[in-house]
Every structure is written in C-alpha cells, then in structure tokens.
Structure 1
Amino acid sequence: MTGRDGQGRIGFTCQSFYSVSTAPSLISFSIMKTSTTYPRIRRTGRFAVNVLSSHQQGISNQFARKGTDKWADIRWHQTLASNPVLEDTLMWLDCQIWAEHDAGDHVIVLGRVTEMNPATRHVHDPLLYFQGRYRHLGPDGTPWGPSPRSEDENPAGLPGSNNLCSTRRQRTKSGWTRLFYIGPGERRTVLRWSPAVGVAFCAAWAGQLDAWAASLAGPASLTHK
C-alpha cells in the first residue's frame, strides 16, 4: 500500500487484500491498529494498492521493514490523485477510503477504486506468500509450487509455520492427481489428494502439520520419502 501526505511518500507491505464489490468498485485490506503508517494514509483519505510481481520479493521485504528508507532505489510514478505507484508491478489501483470497520486488533479498510492500470500491464506472475515463505506459480499455473529458498526468506517476521509445504500435480495411469508435500528434509510427508486432505492442507499453516498429517495417515495414503 502506498500514499503521500505533507511529510512525503508512505508505504507498507500488506498481507490481507481482496476484492469486495463491483458496483461500486470496492476493495479491502486489513491493518494492525498499532501501525504508525496507516494513520498518515487515513488523514489523506486516499491510497494506492500495488500488487507485486514474482520478481519483486525484495520490494516486499523493503516495505515491510521499520526504521528504514522504504523508497530507496524504488522506481515509481504518480497517479491522477497524486499517489505514488510502483513500477513493474502486476497491477495497481488508486482508491479513496470508503469506510473502516473495527476487527479486534486490526482495522478493516474499504477503498473505492478511482483509477487503475491499463489491462495490458498484466504481463507478470504474482508474488505469492504462504507458510512463512515466498512462493511462485508452477509450470502448470499451480499456486504454492516449490520455490527456491533464500537467505532472506522472512526478514519482516511475517507469520507462518516453519514447516515446508507445497503442492503439485502428477500424472498417473488414471489421469492427473495432486500431491501434497509437508515437512522439511528428506523425510517429508507426501499425501495424495482427498477432500479431507485438501481442507486440512488449507488450514495447515496454523502450525499443526504433524497432528493432521498423522490423523489422515490411513485414508490419505500417507508415505514417506
């Protein structure tokens, strides 16, 4: 999320962003109440959303850190509403604050879209973040495909399990099936697709991988490598 006030350009990395409505065009994001950046955006009444591309992991890390110059070496241009938007992203949206809703230790912010990038801009894959590490799309477009690990995977302390999780498709004699890979090292757990496994995998980032994998050992055809 980016913006500008009388003190200069503003920005922070946001994990929770989604579409809300098409008529009117509304989007939403959530921000901790302890944020020192969002109050500056609130006072301006406007902000921009920048959906990062797969090669912009460094920018995500840079805008997630506190106490540093988040805009150092960042290429950007200005929208009609004077918000700075990042170059080479997957897409961007310019918004006015529509409403705010209290949600525990967060504030849910609704924004009305006033401008967006041209459709021709969508030329990159998205930057994905899951299970405490960055991900990329696999060759078949599957999310959470294996991605190279780096020495700077989680510098901002973003939440997530330390277990490694990924999923990919595999061709069998009867067609395609999906395999779920859980756990680090050579003895990772491999689960073949079933409805129960799929639901459990989606909830796995709560950090209880060993518990649910063990509970599914029978019906899920659990094997070790």
Structure 2
Amino acid sequence: MESSTKKVYLERADATGNVVVTELIAGESLIVRVAETWFHPQGGGQKSDRGTIGPARVLHVAHNGGMVDHFVDSLAGLSVGGTYGFAVDSAWRTLNSVYHSSGHLIAGVLESLQHGLTAVAGHQWPGEARVEFEGPAEASGFDGLATELSTRLRELLSKSIEVKVTGDPYSSREIQIGDFPPIPCGGTHVRALSEISVIRVLSIKRKGNRVRVAYDALPP
C-alpha cells in the first residue's frame, strides 16, 4: 500500500524547519517527496507554495494521490533518508493567503447581501481571482451591488476580525471568518482581516448560469 505525505501545513504555518526526504524522482521533471510537508500544493483554487528544500529550489508543489510532489530545479546535494532544512517563500505564501481569505470573505458578504446567491466556486490566483455564485440576480443591478459589496468589504477590513481554522485539520477542516458560516477548505489563510490591506471588486458579471465576481487584493 502506498504511503502518504503528512500535510502539516493544514495545522501549522511554519515557514522554516526540517524535512526528511523519502523519495527522489529524476525524469522530465525533478521531484522530491518528504515524510511531512509544510508546502501547500496547488489546488482548492489556490496556487502552490514555493521555496527551498536543502539546496534545491521548490518551483511547484502538487497532489499526487496521497503523496505530495515537490518539483525542484535540481536533485544535486539531496539523498533519500537525508534531513534537510526547508524554507517556504513567506511573501508568496502571504499573497496567496490574502487572496484566498479575500475570496471567502467576498462569498460570505455577497451571500448576506443577496440571499438568493450561493458561492459554488473560487479561483484565488493573483491576477485572475474570482468567486462564482449560483442563484437569481439581475444584471441590471450589478453596478449597485458592486458598490455595496465594496463598501461592506472596506468596513470589515477596518476591524480586527479573526480568521479561524476549525474542525480536525486532516479530516474536517473549515475556515470561518468572524460570524460568517464556516467553509470547508484545505488552503492557507490570514489570521485576521487586518492582514489584508485592500480588496478591490473589479467586476460583477453573469457567466452562463453563474454570477462571477472578479477581484484583486493586497497585503499591508
């Protein structure tokens, strides 16, 4: 039976530490596998972490069944069974956490403003972020809705509202922002809304049977 990588990032946000290499894969892509990882793999609407493991630069991280693959620039200096220091690119992690938490906040606020809308998908990549909703909404009112949403977001960002991880990190993990309903999520997030400088609503449009909110966000 194939072993699995323990995804420690689900419960801890350490940016540095040590990992034990369990497998090195040389081929078209160079892959490092470790017993436990603090690197968030791409998925759930969030870009992957990047950083270093020992002398290798981690360029991309991806789920592979129960394993997590760390795509690196070189395997030189690494050996199976060896223990190496790791470092997650903190600035990149922070930016993606800001975008992810912003998407959750937009979902909660818009659902409270338009009770017929339900958030069903999020794509929180910097430069192309959006949250998608299903439900009735008139396109003729989208300009006013965008203004109302933007105003409410600014109000919430001015307060010290906690962003909490609830449930079991490995089986029932949810993210809750203040009093908004918790949302199942395996991504990384800010600890409080004060860690988000601004959320800009770029547009609200209907795309097929969905309402799409495009946005960008910045850390302080």
Whether TM-score is above 0.5 comes out as no
Give me the TM-score of the superposition, normalised by structure 2: 0.27
Larger radius of gyration: 1
Which one has the bigger helix percentage? 2
Give me the TM-score of the superposition, normalised by structure 1: 0.27
Identify the structure with bigger relative contact order (alpha carbons < 8 Å, sequence gap 6+): 2
